[in-house]
Structure 1
Amino acid sequence: MPSSGARQVLTIIPRAAASVDLELVIAVDVSYSMDLDELAVQREGYAQAIVSKEFLQTMKNGPTSKVAVTYFEWSASSDQRIIIPWRVIDGPESADAVADEIMKAPVRRGSRTSISGAIAFAMPLFDENPYHGLRWVIDISGDGPNNNGEPVAGVRESALAKGITINGLPIMVKEPSQSSMDIENLDWYYEDCVIGGPGSFVVSIKDRDKFKEAIRAKLVLEVAGRTPEHRLVPVAEKEPRVPCNIGEKMWQERWGR
């Protein structure tokens, strides 16, 4: 016991940020170009992927066996809604809880398509959560090009400068028509104008029956920190094969604004 004249010094050690293998932002398109069936299958796909054996086993093999996930829906540049705030998935129970939250949220749709708005909304989410991840990834899905908000290429570069990787899930289950804002080669557009960063990749959905399978494969690759074995087209480092402002031009030609 110290003497009455001794001075006791209390050292306070600051609490370290929680450590996870991956901080994953899932950004899901809910614009009116997505029909209600697509929205339902998309949501079920993410919920089922998170509880799948493949996802959980891949996560278990990581350095910390944990990932932090947040899930939001987006349409126009001013329309983003967080459905699942940051949650740590570290096993079947926490995965089930996240999947249940995804499925319980009311289905909604919004106007316009702002991929740039979704990326801009996602960027500060990495700074606002209490976790420390070895990797930062935005997983963005959509069925059309950017037609609202800032140009997508510039916002993408801002994200890459922060060390964020962007992966894409272009949804191509419908044939483009003159009356829609769909484009051919949406996968090229995503590769050349949307995704970027170390190990970035695109998984295209061209068959409605394989929607859920594609989502599961993409999440497993992201948790593992890998790219697909057979990447069809590398990300272009020169002139984009599809103009990055094609969506804005189509909107202006159709609506005159």
Structure 2
Amino acid sequence: MVLFRSIAACLCLTPPAMACDLALALAVDVSGSVDSTEYRIQMDGLAAGLRDPIVSEALLRGEARLMLVQWTGSSRQKITVPWTHIDSFETLDRFADQVARDPRVWRNFSTAIGEALEMTMSSFDSVKNCKRHLIDISGDGVSNEGVEPSELHATLRTKGVTVNAIAIEESEPDLTAYFFENVIVGEGAFVVSATGFADYPERIRKKLLREVTQQTAGLD
């Protein structure tokens, strides 16, 4: 009896483990329309956005899981930084460092947004304990190869995966409307517009703020 009470007391004193609030897959466009400078702007901007004080605090408090995906044409999507449990600011810094240093996998291929979503969606099976499953996809062009992204909307909804997007309107001024109509899906899903790659770092920072703090308005 004494032993039982001792064990029970220990269990009561043990703080409950925090549940994962957000599993966030960061899917970066590396198609042929993105040159080496633009690729670097994306990766450095994304790393800086993750280090934003409010973003980093929210990710840590939410016990978030983060993953980085590079994607381009059909059959060319790759997880380059696997799911990482953000359990400290040091872990987040290491993840951001990996993002900033991540070598480009492809250079001269088409834009298969649907296949990028399909592959990334399947990766959430390993983070089922997280409350929110979110794909944050960037792009500077419409999908021109593989399955149409809109064809995946029903499956994404069934699996509880939300897709948000950042439209980089470097050469396609109607890209935001395309992403809104064909790419994003899920409750509260939204598109952020960047007027070009130079505008990307500030826009991705605001997008991350909105996603990780569950805000739905006021940042555009």
1:58 is matched with which residue?
58
Spell out the pairing of 1:65-80 with structure 2 (5 A cutoff): 65-80=62-77
Q: Secondary structure at the match of 1:132?
A: coil
The 8 Å contact of residues 18 and 132 in structure 1, kept in 2 or not, is answered as no
Q: Secondary structure at the match of 2:78?
A: strand
Tell me by how many angstroms 1:92 deviates.
1.8
Spell out the pairing of 1:124-139 with structure 2 (5 A cutoff): 124-129=122-127, 132-139=129-136
Question: Structure 2 length normalisation: TM-score?
Answer: 0.86
One of 121, 144, 147 as aligned partner of 2:144: 147
Q: Which has the higher helix share?
A: 2
Detail structure 1 runs of 4+ shifted over 3 Å in the superposition.
none
Tell me by how many angstroms 1:155 deviates.
1.4
The 8 Å contact of residues 141 and 168 in structure 1, kept in 2 or not, is answered as yes
Spell out the pairing of 1:3-152 with structure 2 (5 A cutoff): 19-60=19-60, 64-108=61-105, 109-129=107-127, 132-152=129-149
When the two chains are superposed, the root-mean-square deviation of aligned CA atoms in Å is 2.1
Tell me by how many angstroms 1:38 deviates.
1.0
1:247 is matched with which residue?
none
State the percentage of identical aligned residues: 34
Distance 2:78 2:219 in 1: 34
Distance 1:110 1:89 in 2: 33
2:187 is matched with which residue?
198
One of 169, 175, 184 as aligned partner of 1:172: 169
Distance 1:55 1:72 in 2: 20
Seen in structure 2, the aligned counterparts of structure 1 residues 71 and 230 have a Cα distance that, compared at 3 Å, is closer
Distance 1:18 1:142 in 2: 34
Unmatched runs of 5 consecutive residues or more in structure 1: 2-16, 175-182, 232-257
Distance 1:100 1:66 in 2: 19
Tell me by how many angstroms 1:209 deviates.
3.3
2:13 is matched with which residue?
none
Greater Cα radius of gyration, structure 1 or 2: 1
Distance 2:160 2:25 in 1: 14
Q: Secondary structure at the match of 2:192?
A: coil
One of 161, 174, 187 as aligned partner of 1:185: 174
The 8 Å contact of residues 119 and 156 in structure 1, kept in 2 or not, is answered as no
- The C-alpha deviation readout for 1:77-129, integer Å capped at 9, x for no partner, is 20011111000123320111101111222124240100000010011111024
Distance 1:230 1:219 in 2: 10
Please say if 1:210 is aligned against 2:199.
yes
Q: Secondary structure at the match of 2:20?
A: strand
The 8 Å contact of residues 56 and 91 in structure 1, kept in 2 or not, is answered as no
Question: Structure 1 length normalisation: TM-score?
Answer: 0.74
Tell me by how many angstroms 1:224 deviates.
1.1
